[in-house]
Structure 1
Amino acid sequence: MPELPEVETVRRSLLPVVLNKPIITVQVNYERILQHISSADFKSALIGNEFSQIKRSGKYLIFSLKDNRELVIHLRMTGRLTYYSDQSIPLAKHTSVIFGFETGDELRFEDVRKFATIDLVSKGNYEQVKGLFNLGIEPLSKEFSPEVLSDFVHKRSTKIKSVLLNQSLIAGLGNIYVDESLFMSGIHPERPANSLKKAEITRLHGAIQTVLKDAIDNQGTTLRDYRTGYGQEGSFQNRLQIYGRKGEKCPTCGTNIEHKKVAGRTSHFCPICQKE
């Protein structure tokens, strides 16, 4: 599933090419992608409208419309929002929605697994989008401090990986970047959250922000499905230290990297550098 760096990369790549262009056609090939609205009403709301801004909140993309409504998009497992400069370019097999612009270009929403969603809401009215409505703090925001992270972990005895994956606490972190952050900070994913000492929390906070910024700079991680808004692969997969490297040598100490299920997800760690 695309995580914060991938969604942010899609946002940044689409900003220069889809804003302030009249939408003249909307084609819905998979109606179940639309939440709480029919295909006919969706088309009626979008045709003649324009995207005026794109924001990101956690793993959600929020497209502002000129009529003061918003499209809330979640890519889920395999969703792709891809810009095409020419409407004559053949459609990908699993294209769910197409937004055609007056300028002759298109924004296409492709989704192999068909889990992605689109909500049309009044500006800021996110009650119907449960995950967004209950979303936690942005980990790259000024508000996300070591003190805030300390408050999260010291109130909970669950495994630290479970806390970091909790979207109602910290928005946008997923399996890849939690594993990478825990490795960088030398913390085992199964450590009880409230066992972390102040210095460890400070290291973890710094690791989270460093890993996320580095991943964004490298346009995210492409392991299989993810692509930028231009249809290109990210490159952070080439910089992963621990995630997906089971059986390989730890880049720090040379011990074999191990993996196990933690918080319902396959977790990668070094048993020496990240002692339980």
Structure 2
Amino acid sequence: MSELPEVEITRRDLDKELQGKKIKTVEVVGTKKAIPAASSKKWFSDKLEGRIVRTVARRGVILVLDIGDGQDLVVDLGTYGHFRRTRPSQGAIEHTKVILTVPGRGYTQIRLIDQSSTATMRVVVRERFAALYFDESELGFDPIDDPMPWGDFGRMLAADSRTLKTILTDSKFVVGIGPVYSDEILHAALLRHDRPSNGLNTQEVRRLYRAIFETMHNAVKYRGLSLGGRTDLYGDPGRFDELIEVYGRGGERSRHGRGNVLTARVKGMTHYYCDYQV
């Protein structure tokens, strides 16, 4: 899945570029896999053309564009989906799935690009969101939009016996943390992935709390990751790759050379850590 920092960066960029603008044309490139709920490409285009984007919001890691009349354009970026602002004259871009054309110094194209073919767009009646995606009340805390007092965070940990890796990647505990950022958070907190959540002492709770919020906010500040060819709306790759300490570095030194990066299989996925995490 796309993780929270990349989705939040996309939301901010799209809100800046699309708010108050009318969608002139919509083109679905290739198959309709990116619009699974639409009966046809024409149906999807007809639903959007002429609509004005009022706001771009985020629910968990799902983007929600308010297009009026109680309807939303809902975007799930999947694994590597991202948007790119282009000019019509720029021609074809590989892995383009959907093109929205809006006014802006002539006309501007907003392209959904996805080499993993997992991103989707749906036109949804607002009341149907929970049935199609999730009930927002079931989501955990949001490290970007919902700063939580560390005392409350500690009580949540104390009430949960699952491992740290498990709770960090559970959207019902915390929103939008996946394999990359969970490994980076655990490394920053100097904690092992298999520690039970209710077994941390006060100092360890504080370290984990700080690591979650600092990692998420720094990732947004440095424009996220460029994994899977991801760029921001303006075609610039994220710079947080340069700050990654352990993820994807198995057998190498951690970024700042504090130790060798080890790997373990956790629920079928590779987890990266150092031996000084306890």
Q: Is the 8 A contact 1:83 1:108 kept in 2?
A: yes
Q: Partners in 1 of 2:266 and 2:84 — Cα distance?
A: 33
Q: Among the aligned pairs, what percent are the same residue?
A: 28
Higher mean Cα deviation, 235-244 or 33-42? 33-42
Deviations 1:32-53 (A, max 9, x none): 2224332333222211101111
Match of 1:40 in 2: 42
Output the amino acid matched with 2:16: P
1:228 equivalent to 2:232? Answer: yes
Q: Partners in 2 of 1:5 and 1:216 — Cα distance?
A: 5
Q: Partners in 1 of 2:44 and 2:245 — Cα distance?
A: 43
Q: Partners in 1 of 2:257 and 2:111 — Cα distance?
A: 45
Match of 2:57 in 1: 55
Match of 2:168 in 1: 164
Instruction: Calculate the aligned-residue CA RMSD, in Å.
Output: 2.1
Which of residues 139, 161, 177 is equivalent to 1:173? 177
What is the Cα deviation at residue 216 of structure 1? 0.6
Match of 1:90 in 2: 91
Q: Is the 8 A contact 2:262 2:272 kept in 1?
A: yes
Match of 1:8 in 2: 8
TM-score normalised to structure 2 length: 0.89
Output the amino acid matched with 2:94: K
Gaps of 5+ in 1: none
Q: Partners in 2 of 1:95 and 1:130 — Cα distance?
A: 24
Taking a change above 3 Å as real, the CA distance of residues 165 and 109 of structure 1, as seen in their structure-2 partners, is same
Which of residues 245, 248, 259 is equivalent to 1:241? 245
Q: Is the 8 A contact 1:221 1:234 kept in 2?
A: yes
Output the amino acid matched with 1:43: S
Q: Partners in 2 of 1:172 and 1:144 — Cα distance?
A: 15
Q: Is the 8 A contact 1:244 1:268 kept in 2?
A: yes
Match of 2:129 in 1: 126
Output the amino acid matched with 2:109: E
Q: Is the 8 A contact 1:246 1:259 kept in 2?
A: yes
Output the amino acid matched with 2:2: P
What is the Cα deviation at residue 236 of structure 1? 0.5
Q: Partners in 1 of 2:128 and 2:24 — Cα distance?
A: 26
What is the Cα deviation at residue 57 of structure 1? 2.6
Partner-residue secondary structure (3-state), 1:224:
helix
TM-score normalised to structure 1 length: 0.90
Partner-residue secondary structure (3-state), 2:107:
coil
1:31 equivalent to 2:32? Answer: yes
